[in-house]
Structure 1
């Protein structure tokens, strides 16, 4: 049976790069995991094994580290843009570059004045602890003409201990869940948002500010929504981002419902007044949806793991 080559790409995955910026005695850390995928005129390497159009994946790895020095890492987004532009414009056979970046947060360790007598004031400015914050994400795609920047986060754990209900749902012969009028609402947010940036220098977002503000609006919407369903909360989170961040046209969330069930304490002669819960890890409800700016089309994949 005749065969033809379908879509393909290659590159170097999970290049771990840590960039230290020294501002006198004060140091700043950018800790990234960078994956590069390239595609283009690559038929011959698949058909005949000719590597004439193949830029070695080792070279893509080296480029990541060289660019960390040459350009620095002001933001994950800007670093990814530098890389994607370089691969497409410097190698004729490469028509498209996709750069995925995970960023891990470090927090400066602060010392008291008393401690400074022993460790030194300067030392505190280059001591860090890995935080329990979420992982920041970005994906840059460039084909020589069009840019797409999708950023986001994963593993952001949030909880409301009240102001959440779930009742009035459809029931059938297999329904055993009791309606809840005061419940814990907890989830671990995986979210992506697509920027409307198109390489216009006058409209380039401040990527760092954009991330922090988007995260802030997401959390505020979660905290301020009196929730009758996790779907309602998801929509409010996305809508608030769209309303407050003009550089973003699309937001997609995947929210597992981290169920908390009231424990029956009556066998012990105790009343459980919404105080003691069993935190169940599986199975769990999974709520997913996209929120769009009016007039825009959805582009972020339904499966966020396949960005």
Structure 2
């Protein structure tokens, strides 16, 4: 029996990069959390402590900040591609790079009915994500978001399920359905209008959640993923993760009050966790596109 070193990578996680454009009276802001990871012949660093081939993680951090200025942040996907291409093509002996980016959204403050030029309020909606991998197999981009909290007060059912001696859940044909959605989608091209497509995919998923008479959260995820693939031929697959944020009707009978589905307690745990991958049957191989580093995107 031999003991060997398996897959490995190293990098700088969670670099908080804020890029403000100040070249006009009306400023613009992009607020990022950037993680980098490099892959290559780094075995000696692990096995004997030899750092000859190791680009310091501090250098990776500096590169992210420098690129925020020199390359700019038009979209987090392009920013990730710029970083990954640099590490792979310009830094020997790096063979592969994984860049994960979270973006935090801001909206302009409104003062006396007018949007302010240089003041923003942090938006409390989803966190946009991108994961970029560049290596010998090509360039892979995964877009996405997490923490998109959705709730609808009707249009959801759950009935006809398997029951055994431990089952206490009652069937329902009218319930509150809520989730904090995590969605990721893999592109087959890097020639994409990232900003437009992000907004379009989010809109599709919200539409399907809102309009489908859902017999189960599983069914809702299937409709979300299928609708995205039907709309965008350059998306190969969609991965979805949705905790079922349960809302239970409160028994108000001790207070001689009826509660016809109007007052609920929101339970944060335990929760059902529903996951699905929806993909084309001819989707190209993903390579290392889904091999995470910091796991943020």
- The normalised TM-score by structure 1 is 0.91
Indicate the larger mover: 39-48 or 58-67.
Answer: 39-48
1:7, distance to aligned residue in structure 2 (A): 1.0
1:145, distance to aligned residue in structure 2 (A): 4.3
1:37, distance to aligned residue in structure 2 (A): 0.3
* Aligned CA distance change for structure 1 residues 222 and 142 (closer, same or farther; 3 Å): same
Please give the residue correspondences for 1:6-45 in structure 2 after superposition, counting only pairs within 5 Å. Answer: 6-45=6-45
- One of 134, 138, 151 as aligned partner of 1:146: 138
Retained in 2: the 8 A contact 1:290–1:298?
no
Distance 1:301 1:12 in 2: 18
Retained in 1: the 8 A contact 2:188–2:284?
no
Distance 2:121 2:68 in 1: 22
Retained in 1: the 8 A contact 2:100–2:296?
no
1:301, distance to aligned residue in structure 2 (A): 5.6
Does 2:128 correspond to 1:136? yes
Distance 2:170 2:149 in 1: 25
Does 2:157 correspond to 1:165? yes
Distance 2:84 2:16 in 1: 17
Distance 1:298 1:257 in 2: 31
* Aligned CA distance change for structure 1 residues 281 and 302 (closer, same or farther; 3 Å): farther
Does 2:168 correspond to 1:190? no
Indicate the larger mover: 97-106 or 137-146.
Answer: 137-146
1:27, distance to aligned residue in structure 2 (A): 0.7
Deviations 1:62-99 (A, max 9, x none): 11011111110000000000000000011221101000
Match of residue 295 from structure 1: 282
Match of residue 254 from structure 2: 267
* Aligned CA distance change for structure 1 residues 100 and 306 (closer, same or farther; 3 Å): closer
Bigger strand fraction = 2
Indicate the larger mover: 39-48 or 247-256.
Answer: 39-48
How many corresponding residue pairs? 294
Retained in 2: the 8 A contact 1:254–1:286?
yes
1:144, distance to aligned residue in structure 2 (A): 3.9
Distance 2:210 2:285 in 1: 26
Match of residue 66 from structure 2: 66
Distance 2:175 2:69 in 1: 50
Secondary structure, counterpart of 2:199 in structure 1 = helix
Bigger helix fraction = 1
Distance 2:269 2:101 in 1: 29
Deviations 1:213-250 (A, max 9, x none): 11111101111111110011111111111111222111
- The normalised TM-score by structure 2 is 0.94
Deviations 1:23-58 (A, max 9, x none): 411111000000000010112222222211111111
Secondary structure, counterpart of 2:147 in structure 1 = strand
Match of residue 94 from structure 1: 94
More contact order relative to length (CA 8 Å, sep ≥ 6): 2
1:111, distance to aligned residue in structure 2 (A): 1.9
Distance 1:10 1:289 in 2: 29
Retained in 2: the 8 A contact 1:163–1:183?
yes
Does 2:178 correspond to 1:180? no
Retained in 1: the 8 A contact 2:101–2:296?
no
Secondary structure, counterpart of 1:52 in structure 2 = coil
Match of residue 193 from structure 2: 206
Which segments of 5 or more consecutive residues in structure 2 lack a partner in the other structure?
A: none
